[in-house]
Amino acid sequence: MSERRDNPGRKPPADDWVRAGTLEELKARRMTVVRGGTCPLLVVHDRGKFFALDNRCPHLGFPLHRGSIEDGILTCHWHHARFDLASGGTFDLWADDIPTAPVELRDGALWVCRRTRYADGDAHWRNRLREGLQHDIGLVLAKAVLGLGGGRTNHRALLRDGVLFGVRNRDGWGVGLTIATALGNLVPALPEEERYLALFHGLRRIATARACCRVAIASRSRFAALAGCLCSAAGCAIGPRYATATAPSGRC
């Protein structure tokens, strides 16, 4: 039996639980959808254990009960994103994790908590923000900005994470960092419905700048290697010196 709680030392209130069915019914169906607090919950029986997860694929919302399960892995049949049943963790960076819910056995029936949470708890969206910046994935960044309040609460903390990431991962002050710094003063003056877009585009410019930096380093490396090979083949003494002079330093 798999059991997860928001706080291991404190059980959710009694009215936060919903009866999913008897063990025999759930085993026969293998996948069952029940009503949760803010989302439908998917109850799964797999290899002698029960699990409960948000039934919406975190990629684009496809109902996960229409997917398949094998070896403890749930696969969405829309874009084939894969998730670990026990933790909700994804095997595909672009898909995001699934929040899970605690389950409990009572008198031959399974009860599921209506509330879900991520395996990494409150740090989830900050972790996703960092991953979106590292890999320049717009969808991940957009979800992280929304998950962190979309600028309605503490927009400065969100921008601080983006600026620190930009400073630590590139040499020099670029357009993305300038935009993010200006947004620190501008966001409070924007209508609430526009703050999210402003923050997203500012952070996306930081991510894009880092991606361009990586491409430039790789291009210089390939060009230097090619120049060295051509000049060596031609018996030119300039090639090795040029290749050494243009070798990337790892920073742009």
pLDDT in tens, 68-109: 999 999 999 999 999 999 999 999 988 889 999 999 999 999
Main-chain dihedrals φ then ψ at residue 197, nearest 5 degrees: -65, -40
Does residue 231 have a pLDDT over 50? no
Residue 5: per-residue pLDDT: 40
Residue 101: per-residue pLDDT: 95
Q: Give, as one character, the DSSP assignment of residue 189.
A: G
Does residue 233 have a pLDDT over 60? no
Report whether 59 contacts 96 (CB < 8 A). yes
Residue 155: per-residue pLDDT: 85
Does residue 172 have a pLDDT over 90? no
Q: Give, as one character, the DSSP assignment of residue 235.
A: T
Report whether 50 contacts 44 (CB < 8 A). yes
Selected residue with higher pLDDT from 49 and 218: 49
SS (H, E, C) 60-82: CCCEHHHCEEECCEEECCCCCCE
> Which stretches of the chain are assigned E, i.e. beta strand?
17-22, 31-35, 40-46, 49-54, 68-70, 73-75, 82-84, 100-101, 103-106, 109-113
pTM: 0.65
The pairing of strands 73-75 and 68-70 is antiparallel
Q: Which top CATH class is 14-119?
A: mainly beta
Positive/negative CA dihedral, 135, 137, 138, 139:
negative
Positive/negative CA dihedral, 57, 60, 61, 63:
negative
Does residue 242 have a pLDDT over 60? no
Distance CA 57, CA 46 (A): 19
Span 41-45, average pLDDT = 96
Span 216-224, average pLDDT = 47
